[in-house]
Amino acid sequence: MTTESDPALMAKTASGDLVAFEQLVLRHQEKAWAFAWRFLQDAAEAEDVVQEAFLRVFRAASQYEPTATFRTYLFTVILRRCLDLRSKKRPEYASDLPPLTDHSASPEKLLLEQERMAAVSRALMKLAPSQRAVLLLRHYEEMSYREIAEVLHISEKAVDSLLQRARQGLRDLLTHEDPTIGRRI
C-alpha cells in the first residue's frame, strides 16, 4: 500500500487516477463499514452505504478541499447517508452481532459478553441519531472533539454536551434493561 497522504491521493483521483482512489478505499473501507454497521445494525445496508459514500467521494474528488482530514470528510458522507436511511425506515434490532474472537474466555464469560454487546446495541438504536452518532464517532472511531464537530457540523462545546447527554441516555437505557450493565457504562 502507498504511503501517500489522503489529500495527495484525492488530488490524483481528481485527475482520473483510479489506482489512487483504490488506495483510499483500501485504506478506509474497514473502518467506514464498521461505523456504518454500528450505526445501522444491518450488514447489507452498511455495505451499500459505504459503497455509495465512496462513489460520492469519487464523483466529488475534483471539488475536494482538504480543510478537514479525509477520514472526517468520508465519515460525514457516511453519516448523512445513514441518517437518510434511518429517517425513511424504523430501526430494526439486530440479533446477529459479530462473533467474539477471545477464545481464551470461558463459555460463560463469552455468553455474558455477547449479552452485554446485544444490550448495548439495542440501547444505541434507541438513542436519537445524533446521540448515537456522537457516541460511535468518539468511542468506536476514536475521533477527537474537533473531528466530531466537523462531521456533525456543530461546535466542540456542542459535541461535549451531546456526548454527555448520549452517555447518560445510554446509561439510563442499560440500567433499565439490566442494572449491572448500566452501572459499568
pLDDT in tens, 76-108: 999 999 998 877 754 444 444 444 455 566 787
12-24 residue pLDDT tens: 999 999 999 999 9
100-124 residue pLDDT tens: 455 566 787 877 788 888 888 899 9
107-184 folds as Arc Repressor Mutant, subunit A (1.10.10)
* CATH class name, domain 6-88: mainly alpha
Contacts 24+ apart (CB under 8 A), 80-83: 81/36, 81/49, 81/52, 81/53, 82/36, 82/39, 82/40, 82/49, 82/129, 82/133, 83/129, 83/133
Sorted by where each begins, the domain ranges of the chain are: 6-88, 107-184
pLDDT band at 30 (very low <50, low <70, confident <90, very high): very high
Q: pTM of the entire structure? A: 0.75
